[in-house]
């Protein structure tokens, strides 16, 4: 069974369980098909970037679903209550390793009619490319020492994780976090000086981008116009970054702008 088919089956079962737990009848095949078709159409709008990266570019999505009055309660339970469709869409995007804006929202609107050319499909989707107010201004990180999966990274996400290897697992092989810039786990001394969960950048609406050290073994510093600024380990306020700063993760280095 393919990974995609397994996920579809899981989402179908979750939808059935959600309806049963609310006292609803078993969902009609039509509802399952509409649910799956919406997720498939969303995936068709994913942007494919260089180096195999995938990105979702729409902070807000509105889905209008055709629902007869007699079935409206089931559609509400399956698609609206608890942001059900938004959670399912996010799970599908995450499973497909798509970079999604942190404040992605999906709203479902149950309607009595749709334009004739799309009525047989049963739904309509509108996409907003307008940047969310919660998003950060774009920043760029350029790797200047060390080997990473990408040498230049641009992002408007509010948090950017830095570390060694792309996906960090714990001792029980459970997912811990995904590094946006991942240095190679190849034994090279520069790359080896980067901890798996080394540091992260976070956007503060008042002070701008800040750098935090996530209990790394070799430390995190900033080289700024010849001066070295040390970033304290663990939670705290972090250090505000300035364009042109050189971020040092052990022996690895990145340029921030």
The pLDDT score that the predictor gives to residue 4 is: 40
Closest CA to 249 of 174, 192, 187: 192
Residues of the chain within CATH 3.30.2320 domain(s) are: 3-128
pLDDT digit string, tens, across residues 113-169: 888 878 888 899 988 765 444 567 889 999 999 999 888 998 878 889 999 998 888
DSSP string, 64-101: EEE--GGGHHHHIIIIIGGGHHHHHHHHHHHHTT-B--
pLDDT by residue for the chain (257 residues), tens digit each?
A: 344 445 455 555 655 555 455 445 544 567 778 888 999 899 888 888 777 788 888 888 999 989 888 778 878 877 888 788 898 899 899 888 898 877 788 999 988 888 887 888 889 998 876 544 456 788 999 999 999 988 899 887 888 999 999 888 888 888 888 898 999 999 999 999 999 999 999 888 778 899 999 999 999 999 999 999 999 987 778 899 999 999 999 999 999 99
The CA dihedral of 62, 49, 138, 240, to the nearest 10 degrees, is 120
CA angle in degrees (0–180, nearest 5) for 88-92-96? 170
The pLDDT score that the predictor gives to residue 256 is: 96
Question: Where do runs of H (alpha helix) occur along the chain?
Answer: 3-21, 29-43, 72-75, 84-95, 116-119, 189-192
3-class secondary-structure state, position 20 = helix
This prediction has a pTM of: 0.51
Contact 72, 14 (CB under 8 A): no
Distance CA 178, CA 66 (A): 37
The pLDDT score that the predictor gives to residue 9 is: 55
As assigned by CATH, the class of the 139-256 domain is mainly beta
The CA dihedral of 29, 33, 36, 41, to the nearest 10 degrees, is -170
Closest CA to 108 of 75, 131, 69: 75
Closest CA to 28 of 69, 65, 71, 85: 71
The pLDDT score that the predictor gives to residue 129 is: 66
Domain covering 3-128: architecture: 2-Layer Sandwich (3.30)
Q: Pairing mode, if any, of strands 220-224 and 175-178?
A: unpaired
Residues of the chain within CATH 2.60.200.20 domain(s) are: 139-256
Contact 213, 233 (CB under 8 A): yes
Closest CA to 57 of 151, 163, 138: 138
Alpha carbon distances (Å) from 237 to 137, 157, 195, 234:
19, 19, 21, 10
The pLDDT score that the predictor gives to residue 1 is: 39
């Amino acid at each position: 069974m393919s990974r995609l088919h397994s996920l579809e089956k899981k989402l179908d079962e979750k939808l059935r369980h959600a309806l049963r737990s609310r006292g609803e009848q078993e969902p009609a095949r039509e509802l399952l098909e509409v649910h799956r078709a919406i997720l498939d159409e969303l995936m068709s709008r994913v942007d494919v970037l260089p180096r195999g990266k995938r990105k979702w570019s729409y902070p807000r999505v509105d889905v209008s679903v055709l629902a007869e009055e007699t079935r409206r309660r089931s559609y509400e339970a399956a698609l609206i209550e608890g942001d059900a469709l938004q959670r399912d869409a996010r799970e599908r995007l995450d499973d497909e390793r798509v970079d999604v804006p942190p404040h992605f929202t999906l709203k479902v609107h149950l309607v009595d009619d749709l334009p004739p050319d799309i009525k047989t499909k049963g739904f309509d989707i509108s996409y907003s490319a307008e940047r969310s107010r919660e998003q950060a201004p774009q920043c760029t990180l350029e790797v200047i020492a060390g080997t990473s999966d990408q040498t230049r990274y641009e992002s408007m996400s509010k948090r950017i994780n830095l570390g060694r290897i792309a996906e960090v697992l714990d001792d029980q092989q459970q997912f811990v976090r995904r590094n946006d810039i991942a240095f190679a786990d190849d034994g090279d001394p520069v790359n080896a000086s980067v901890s798996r969960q080394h540091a992260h950048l976070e956007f503060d609406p008042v002070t701008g981008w800040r750098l935090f050290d996530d209990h790394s073994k070799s430390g995190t510093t900033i080289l700024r116009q010849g001066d070295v600024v040390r970033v304290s380990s663990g939670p705290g306020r972090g250090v505000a970054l300035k364009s042109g700063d050189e971020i040092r993760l052990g022996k690895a280095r990145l340029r921030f702008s």
